[in-house]
Amino acid sequence: MTATPGIELADDLFLQYASLVREKSGLEVTPARRSDLERAVADLTARSALASPDKLYQLLVGQAGDPVLLDDLITRLTVGETHFFRNRPQFEALQNVILPELIEKRRAVLRLRLWSAGCASGEEAYSLAILLRLLLPDLARWNILILATDINRESLEKAVLGRYRPWSFREIPPDLKAAFFVSHGDRFEVAPKIRRMVTFRYLNLAEDSYPSLLTDTVGMDLIVCRNVLIYFNEEVNRLVARRFHETLAEAGWLVVGHAEPSQDIFRQFAVRNFPGTVVYQKSAVVEKYPAFSAPILPDVPAPAPAPLPPPARRPVKAAPAPEKPPARHFLKHLPAPVPAEIQTALRLFAVGQSAEAIQQLKALAEADPANLWPPYELARLYANLMELQAAETWIDSLLRREPLLAAAHYLRGLILQEAGRLEASLQSFRACIYADHEFVLGHFALAGVMARQNQPQRALKAFENVERLLVGRDPAEILPDGDLVTVGHLLEMTAAQKELLAG
């Protein structure tokens, strides 16, 4: 591909582009990076056959703003430098203290959740996977999530491919390279047993998409986010630090890079010192709701669900016999709006008072068993706390009453997915779509499970359904039941997942 010659943007247009990039991705385009931005703008203007950079800007911010094109611009401004076992002192702290402590803590539940946020081409996430292989002789019994996310889709494609040049191995001990990589021409390929431990996804850290069940970012035990925050400004960093805090389980760990912002940004965390490095930990207060302490259930078929009643609008052929109860009209949606007392409980949860929120919702459930909101929100909050058994119990109690409630089937699917019960989660997502064909997040979740189950064609079809349902909708529209995810954001995630499947 020949490079497009750069252009010089007028100062005001440069500032407009810089502020658009900041708002969308958190990235600061400093004066030193002005020429990078100018090159990227020139390239995208030419590629989109537009008359001028001004026109490109109008297209990016216009009503029908193109999220994928904007993403392309941002991607060109990211720095993807990374390598295996980058920063020896941090990996020693992980190997010698942090991961062993987490393993001890989670041995009763056999579940670990790690997140490499800003993973670039994947070396960091695969390094974590290698450490877990070394530390867990009984790895097969564990339900492990190593989530690796980035905003750069090309990097994610490389990560999924898992083939690296020798330069990526400059800090890895030779015995580990020999044990976990296979030579492939002039590259080295990650061994399949390591590759399948990592889940790569698109996620923009500047967006309000975490913590959320939708993005698999709840109850994390460890977040590694290194050499990402240095490209953001202080305001974005404070926001990201706060979201990471909410995303972590109690006493969960946050590892940031050496050159990251001042400790003040992370003041809600405790500081733990290790030789040659500092690591943050979510304050280790005693958990009021101890984590669900039974082992994760095996992937057994879900108990046969009660047969779904026919859709409520089906014409009734004959008048019901007088002694029969009148035909029941099953609800497909929770009654809007969210009642004020439920909102009060949710606000408590949002500021970290999960025990109080749950107590209030339980009291509401008891006082008014006909109200559908308390069991729904209890299931959602328990799921966010990764107390999956309690979450499942509440959502099942709701579905017994209202078997056509699309949002409840969707939530049940997410809960089962978190528990590693993929087959059963698939059934729930299907039930969600059966109840409401236009429940776009149901299609998205269905696609995600199919992709994980190695059914790329079916997954692609389900992703296409997502796109079809979102055509013409305002990118800023917040989707119902989606933890504040917008139409634009879902389109970005869908495009990125489709590319990963195709690549």
Q: Residue numbers of the site for ligand SAM (CB under 6 A)? A: 25-27, 78-82, 86, 118-120, 124, 150-152, 155, 204-206, 226-228, 231, 257
Q: Shortest gap between Cβ of 130 and ligand SAM (angstroms)?
A: 15
Q: Shortest gap between Cβ of 69 and ligand SAM (angstroms)?
A: 16
Closest to ligand SAM by CB, 228 vs 405, is 228
Closest to ligand SAM by CB, 36 vs 356, is 36
Q: Shortest gap between Cβ of 151 and ligand SAM (angstroms)?
A: 4
| Block residue for tokens 């190593």 | 146
**What span, in angstroms and rounded, lies between the C-alpha atoms of 332 and 435?**
6
**Helices (H) then strands (E): counts for the chain:** 20, 10
Q: Shortest gap between Cβ of 81 and ligand SAM (angstroms)?
A: 5
Cα–Cα distance list, 330 to 310, 314, 338, 365, 371 (Å): 9, 12, 19, 20, 14
Closest to ligand SAM by CB, 64 vs 259, is 259
**What span, in angstroms and rounded, lies between the C-alpha atoms of 64 and 59?**
8
Asked if 241 contacts 280 with a C-beta cutoff of 8 angstroms, the reply is no
Q: Shortest gap between Cβ of 245 and ligand SAM (angstroms)?
A: 17
Q: Shortest gap between Cβ of 230 and ligand SAM (angstroms)?
A: 8
Closest to ligand SAM by CB, 151 vs 416, is 151
Closest to ligand SAM by CB, 78 vs 455, is 78
Q: Shortest gap between Cβ of 118 and ligand SAM (angstroms)?
A: 3
Closest to ligand SAM by CB, 90 vs 354, is 90
Q: Shortest gap between Cβ of 121 and ligand SAM (angstroms)?
A: 7
Task: List the structure tokens of 80.
Answer: 């993807």
Cα–Cα distance list, 109 to 24, 136, 215, 449 (Å): 38, 14, 22, 23
* Nearest of 289, 286, 243 to residue 268 by alpha carbon: 243
* Nearest of 101, 99, 87, 24 to residue 256 by alpha carbon: 87
Question: Strands 143-150 and 181-184, how do they pair?
Answer: unpaired
Nearest-5° Cα angle at 335, 304 to 362: 70
Closest to ligand SAM by CB, 27 vs 431, is 27
Q: Which amino acid, 415?
A: I
**What span, in angstroms and rounded, lies between the C-alpha atoms of 27 and 20?**
10
Closest to ligand SAM by CB, 173 vs 369, is 173
Closest to ligand SAM by CB, 204 vs 360, is 204
Q: Shortest gap between Cβ of 138 and ligand SAM (angstroms)?
A: 29
Closest to ligand SAM by CB, 82 vs 428, is 82
**What span, in angstroms and rounded, lies between the C-alpha atoms of 161 and 150?**
15
Q: Looking at residue 324, what DSSP letter applies?
A: S
Cα–Cα distance list, 418 to 145, 228, 413 (Å): 9, 27, 9
Q: Shortest gap between Cβ of 147 and ligand SAM (angstroms)?
A: 12
Asked if 188 contacts 163 with a C-beta cutoff of 8 angstroms, the reply is yes
Asked if 286 contacts 263 with a C-beta cutoff of 8 angstroms, the reply is no
Q: Looking at residue 32, what DSSP letter applies?
A: G
Q: Shortest gap between Cβ of 382 and ligand SAM (angstroms)?
A: 28
Task: List the structure tokens of 332.
Answer: 């497909």
Question: Strands 111-117 and 143-150, how do they pair?
Answer: parallel
Closest to ligand SAM by CB, 236 vs 431, is 236
Closest to ligand SAM by CB, 209 vs 428, is 209
Q: What is the 3-state secondary structure (H, E, C) of 198-262?
A: EEEEECCCCCCCCCCCCCCCCCEEEEEECCCHHHECHHHHHHHHHHHHHHEEEEEEEEECCCCCC
Q: Shortest gap between Cβ of 73 and ligand SAM (angstroms)?
A: 12
Q: Looking at residue 3, what DSSP letter applies?
A: P
* Nearest of 397, 479, 394, 401 to residue 445 by alpha carbon: 479
Q: Shortest gap between Cβ of 215 and ligand SAM (angstroms)?
A: 12
Closest to ligand SAM by CB, 199 vs 360, is 199
